[in-house]
Structure 1
């Protein structure tokens, strides 16, 4: 189900599942590396919340970004920050990984850096 909180679109687990393989969306896990390594959504890259401000200007603000964290709080703040900085299409995974019922990968899979596809505008 979709909803809205403080001007940010919220997706629950079912809504996330519907769109998880949509190549037009950019999914980003904003947790810390140790949390990500304990279990993350397969294929979703890591960009810790603290690195978002320095990387945001290199990201494509025309794409829709879906932010994910442990419970939905940090990802909500990242979505708000992105919106305040010109990203009009941002979504928060409300409930975060605590509500994620699907398959999870462990270990470091994919970390966003300047060579990542997010940076191709």
Structure 2
């Protein structure tokens, strides 16, 4: 994990593997900032959706029990939204480096779409 201090805030950049491990330990909340269409097609199991056009940092859950890690397709949108959250007063926020593309490249499991039925299915990376 990379850490950057921005004023009084701490900005963290996590690898997909770190996100996967922390997610399975119940240590983080993963928030997907991609479009609803991208999310419906494939997403990290358990990730919440807060699309970029509707992103409101003040609506994010508190971080007393679990850290928040944002992610998108490539890491660009999630970094932008994490920095916006810091500007709006969050003092600790993180994003996943490389986004969902890096998650898939690391061969981590996710929820995809069965193209024959249109139903969601677990994909084992």
Same fold (TM over 0.5): yes
1:61·1:88 contact (CA, 8 Å) conserved in 2? Answer: no
The reply on whether 1:11 has 2:10 as its aligned counterpart is no
TM-score, structure 2 length as denominator? Answer: 0.73
Residue equivalent to 2:111? 105
* Residue 22 (structure 1) shift: 3.9
Question: RMSD over aligned Cα, in angstroms?
Answer: 2.2
The reply on whether 1:59 has 2:60 as its aligned counterpart is yes
Provide the secondary structure at the position in 2 that maps to 1:23. coil
Aligned pair count reads: 106
Comparing 7-16 with 100-109, which one deviates more in the overlay? 100-109
TM-score, structure 1 length as denominator? Answer: 0.75
Per-residue CA deviation, residues 68-100 of structure 1 (Å, 9 max, x unaligned), is 100100000010011111111211100110011
1:30·1:69 contact (CA, 8 Å) conserved in 2? Answer: yes
CA distance in 1, matches of 2:36, 2:5: 27
Structure number with greater Rg is 2
Residue equivalent to 2:40? 37
Q: Which structure 1 residue ranges, 4+ long, deviate > 6 Å from structure 2? A: none
More strand by share: 2
Residue equivalent to 1:116? none
Q: Please list every run of 5 or more consecutive structure 2 residues that lacks an aligned counterpart in the other structure.
A: 114-118, 121-125
CA distance in 2, matches of 1:57, 1:79: 12
Residue equivalent to 2:123? none
CA distance in 1, matches of 2:38, 2:69: 18
CA distance in 2, matches of 1:61, 1:86: 12
State the structure with bigger RCO (CA 8 A, min sep 6), 1 or 2: 1
